Chain A
């Protein structure tokens, strides 16, 4: 700040945003209250390009609220939110559409459109908001449904799917338009371990193969640690999920919310080493 030496020229904002470690989401002192119930008290954090932020916290801690703030579905009472280099707090709905074009969101309950088929749900954004030719949209829809292993259900209605299948359709829908940032709201809650692991694998694959930055909200610690400590490796056509090395593990940061404040921030090994009684009850 007071450093005036010319040698290492300070990078401009543009250089930072295009660089290797560009911040994708920045919260700076964000506060929010519903009526007089304070949900977030001056929350600050940053998510870097290609990294994962795993948000933990009890039910009602404000985890989904953070994701809604990033999308601009809610406005903060105070504080500043940057997404992909644009300030979204106080942006108009029209301007927000541009920012949202680069974000995919997996809603807590899926939020699939129940009057549309799986195909129409997954291709919604491309069908409705782009001029992409139909054949190309269909190809992309089939591609992402293949990615989550649901190609045979393409013409079903969401109501004819199981909970886990709906969740995977929601993930497919969020990734169709190739966003650079994906937000997952409890993608594995209420699912069996096998389905959960397959969803975790999708999150890892998107992050490591497509360099999508991600924020994962969950209270399933098993899945949180799995996502944080594994990586996807492309191996001539096949994709394997492997134990990640140390530096890769550093790229996944945990963030624990309690009473509207961040009570822990750090990587998986730091979280495991944590001795705070509240965190311990959460971890056990």
Chain B
């Protein structure tokens, strides 16, 4: 059925076009007045503080399991003391940013899509426009900015907690001395890794929040549509996180190393 395929391709192209348009309007709105400060602060709280528990738990267990697994592998080379180096570098470069981003997608992306979606189907977005408020400024910009600020912070926390989780395992199970572990973490981290770990979350945050806003603001089909939008925000957001992570990594390796 070529007609059917053609329709789907057209719909996909249109979707991407609308997404890019939203990103451009958001960027423009973020750099001009008015700015809704209270909404921004509220989003800092709901995105940042709200995600703290999930992110801490994720980081802790990821670090711990990483230490367990790499302990076994390192034993084969008799290099058990190097566990800190391995855990530190993998947390900071990859697992911290990506897992934090995935958790934030699940928690925040779904929430944003559901909230904006239900505002759309109950005409609250139309009401905003009728009252002279630009929905992009009022709803999208505060969320994107809060995401850009909080996701890197959450990632840093996740990295730290992950290393602590790995330290537990290293000391309690692998019988590596505390000082040896922390030394190996410290010397295993190169500046390039840190840069990569710090920059990635900005890209991931932008993608997560803009996709969630885009999906939410294109909700159709009543309450059922809100449910679908939520699912789509999480699925599209997660895939995008992994894809963007790959391309950003590639770009940064090219630029930094």
Contacts and interface: CB of A to CB of B under 8 A. Distances in A.
Given A100-B131, A112-B124, A113-B127, 13 more contacts: A71-B126, A71-B129, A73-B130, A100-B129, A105-B127, A107-B123, A109-B122, A111-B124, A111-B126, A112-B127, A113-B124, A124-B133, A128-B131
B132 A107 contact: no
A125 B132 contact: yes
Interface in B190-233: none
A124 B123 CA distance: 16
Nearest to B25: A93
20 contacts: A68-B126, A71-B129, A73-B126, A97-B132, A97-B134, A100-B130, A100-B131, A100-B132, A103-B130, A105-B127, A105-B130, A107-B130, A108-B123, A109-B123, A111-B124, A111-B127, A113-B119, A124-B131, A128-B131, A128-B138
B36 interface: yes
Given A100-B129, A128-B36, A111 B123 contact: yes
Contacts of A71: 126, 129-130
Most chain-A CB neighbours within 10 Å: which of B123, B132, B134?
B132
Nearest to A74: B126
Contacts of B131: 100, 124-125, 128-129, 173
Contacts of B129: 71, 73, 93, 100
A128 B139 CA distance: 13
A101 interface: yes
Nearest to B42: A115
Task: State the 10 A-B residue pairs at the shortest beta-carbon distance, nearest first.
Answer: A111-B127, A111-B123, A105-B130, A125-B131, A129-B132, A97-B132, A107-B123, A100-B132, A111-B124, A71-B130
A210 interface: no
A143 interface: no
Contacts of B124: 111-114
Interface in B124-155: 124, 126-127, 129-134, 138
B24 to A, nearest CB: 14
A93 B138 CA distance: 14
Contacts of B132: 97, 100-101, 125, 129
Nearest to A72: B129
A100 B134 CA distance: 12
